[in-house]
A and B are shown apart, each in its own frame.
Chain A
Amino acid sequence: MVWLNAVLQGTLVGGLYALFATGLSLAFGVMRFVNLSHGDLAVASAYIAMSLSATLDWNPLVILVIVLPGALVVGYLLQRLLFDRIVGVDPSFQIVATFGLGVVIENLLYEKYTADTQGLDVGSLKLSGFKINDKISIGWLPLITLGCAVLVLSGLALFMRRTRLGRAFRATSDDADAARLMGIDIRTVWGVAMAFAVATAALAGVLYGTRSSFDPFGGPVRLIYGFEAVIIGGLGSLWGTLIGGVILGVAQAIGRQIDPQYGELAGHFVFLAILVFRPTGLFGKGQLR
């Protein structure tokens, strides 16, 4: 029964990892861009939600109505003002610029909030849930998180398939130059894609902050989990990303059940094993380029 519980809780955490991964997957899919400050943006969002929540005396989850539109704007501006210059060039400058941005965000958070760990207080929701039997209970918060992940991914899939802008996303992803020739404003497409990416990071960051404590330097680990979910699921597959997140979460939960020290390691080992035995991921089609 403890194992079943581990799988169940791992699946729920997997939803969070999938949310961290969604933005990475999207930005890579649309413009072959990897933002190494993705995790730091998520953690920064959690801090901003914390400050706003204290000022306005609202529940941090309600603060999302401010944080998410803000993140959309930040993402769009980041892309238009900074990242546009380094899409499609030598990836080393993407790495350096976004890695540097991460360093800046971490140290600004450290300067403002110190290194103390913080948490988002969602009141009674934090510990409430329902029991399936004596041994297994499911928390509302993890369930909401997984629900958010499914909702975001479904919404994104629908958006990609059904809307005009979604079609432009796919066209830009397949061949940016041809898309440009067909009259698509690819700069707007890139900007909107990064806006979505940062917004999903912010959502993930706030949900993460409601269930575990965070500190200014926790961004890179969030980035790594998201990245592992993307690779396990396979590049270019949105649903693969969800399953990748769930596999990562379950691996960590099972590892933790064996020995509390093995949780993170078990997740990393599953990722490395996928890399060795199936480098395109479980549902990926393309090359890892």
Chain B
Amino acid sequence: MSEFRSGFRVVRGSPASRVCLVVLLALIAVLTSVPSWAEAATQRRMVELFTLLSLAQMWNLLAGFAGLVSVGQQAFVGLGAYGMVALVNVHGQNLYWSVPISAFIAAVLSIPIALVAFRLRGSYFAIGTWVIAEVASLIIVQQTSLGAGSGVSLKVAGFDLETRQHATYWLALVAGVGALLIAYLILRSKLGLQMQAIRDDEAGARGLGANVYRTRLIVWVIASFWTAFTGAVYYLSNLRVQPKDSFSVANWTAPIVIIVVIGGIGTLEGPVIGALVYYILREYFKDYHTWYTVGSGVVAVAAALYLQPGIWGTIRRALKVDLFPVRRRLVRQADTHVENGG
């Protein structure tokens, strides 16, 4: 037996993943320098892209890996945004610190939300999260100190304009890259292994000792935190916060779902590719916004029906590469090792 075992080892990296790491680090370096040479309008556009990247990656973590298909992610975007507005406008807190604090508050709120929503499964969980997002929105609409139904502008007077623009851009970059990093680290961890085991075979994973409820709850809270963080950053750029925008399923969850399904659900690369494709095409078809939404919806429906692996899943199947090394592969070592081993 020992001879047999010594003949294999578990490998995660690959040449492709090492190249990808180098390219990614170089890209992050370039993206970090953007505020020093790009216009404010370009930076705002990039904030939108990073927002989509982050939200899509978090939804993918929930839906593609943890089996929690939520249609209520707009609840956390809205809570992140309104938490920040409450901290800054009502309580006079620092603009930038309010972003993580607001995300933390949303993460705390996500626990009682989970206690209710986790009673539903599958499609009913999806609609249940939607109801909760409606409730959050209806409660916010009644807060006159937060502008009620018509919304409120974030108080940014006293903060230098250029510093604020740069800081917002970098925070958005952190949101986008951080989402990828969080998803990557979770998938490499024991938690990630449990999560995927549960997704593939819940009863089997339970039998092997995975704590299904706890695993799902942890992933849910992390995703809620980062979704709220991203929502706060987006509205730090947008400044005007309105319930019908920030809690809108059409603004947030719809594009996210479309992005992930087109890119490839259940892979780290999928949401990145999906967000880039979606964002670039949306900019291109800016004048035909409604038709673009119709078209992307049709493509998402078609992908869900006929091309479930999405763009990246199809590429991966053909080329057999992983850009982000999260999967464990068993590799046979050289024959001499097998003979000498043991």
Q: Chain A interface (Cβ within 8 Å of chain B)?
A: 33-34, 36, 82, 85-86, 91-97, 99-101, 103-104, 106-108, 110-111, 217, 220-221, 223-224, 227-228, 231, 261, 264-265, 268-269, 271-272, 275-276, 279, 288-289
Contacts and interface: CB of A to CB of B under 8 A. Distances in A.
Contacts of B291: 107, 111
Interface in B274-307: 290-291, 293-294, 297-298, 300-301, 303-306
Interface of B: 63-64, 67, 69, 71, 115-116, 119-124, 126-128, 130-132, 134-135, 138-139, 141-142, 249-250, 254, 257-258, 261, 265, 290-291, 293-294, 297-298, 300-301, 303-306, 308
B130 A111 contact: no
Nearest to A230: B124
Contacts of B122: 34, 91, 95, 289
B123 A36 contact: yes
Contact of A101 (B138, B297, B306): B297
B127 A82 contact: no
Contact of A107 (B71, B142, B290, B301): B290
Nearest to B301: A100
Contacts of A82: 301, 305
A197 B306 CA distance: 24
Given A91-B122, A95-B122, A103-B300, 4 more contacts: A92-B69, A95-B71, A107-B290, A227-B124
Contacts of B69: 91-92, 95-96
Contact of B127 (A103, A104, A224): A224
Contacts of A279: 119-120
A45 to B, nearest CB: 19
Given A95-B123, A272-B116, A110 B290 contact: yes
A224 B304 contact: no
A45 B324 CA distance: 46
Contacts of A231: 120, 124
12 contacts: A85-B305, A95-B69, A95-B71, A97-B300, A100-B300, A107-B290, A224-B130, A224-B131, A261-B141, A265-B139, A271-B131, A279-B119
B293 A96 contact: no
Contact of A227 (B127, B300, B308): B127
A275 B142 contact: no
Contacts of A276: 115-116, 119
B216 to A, nearest CB: 14
A142 to B, nearest CB: 24
A34 B127 contact: yes
B33 to A, nearest CB: 37
Contacts of B134: 221, 224, 264, 268
B305 A86 contact: yes
Contacts of B71: 36, 95, 99
A221 B120 CA distance: 19
A36 B301 contact: no
B63 A92 contact: yes
Given A108-B294, A275-B116, A96 B138 contact: no
Contacts of A101: 297, 301
Interface centre among B121, B124, B128 (most CB of A within 10 A): B124
Contacts of A227: 124, 127, 131
Contacts of A288: 119-121, 124
A221 B135 CA distance: 12
A251 to B, nearest CB: 13
Nearest to A221: B134
Given A227-B124, A288-B124, A268 B135 contact: yes
A289 B124 CA distance: 8
Contact of B300 (A36, A96, A261, A289): A96
A266 B74 CA distance: 21
A262 B64 CA distance: 36
B277 to A, nearest CB: 16
A86 B120 CA distance: 20
Contacts of A289: 121-122
A104 B297 contact: yes
Contacts of A106: 250
B304 A86 contact: yes
User: What 7 pairs between A and B have smallest CB-CB spacing?
Assistant: A34-B123, A91-B122, A97-B304, A104-B297, A103-B297, A100-B300, A100-B301
Contact of A265 (B138, B254, B257): B138
B123 A275 contact: no
Contacts of B119: 275-276, 279, 288
B110 to A, nearest CB: 15
B297 A100 contact: yes
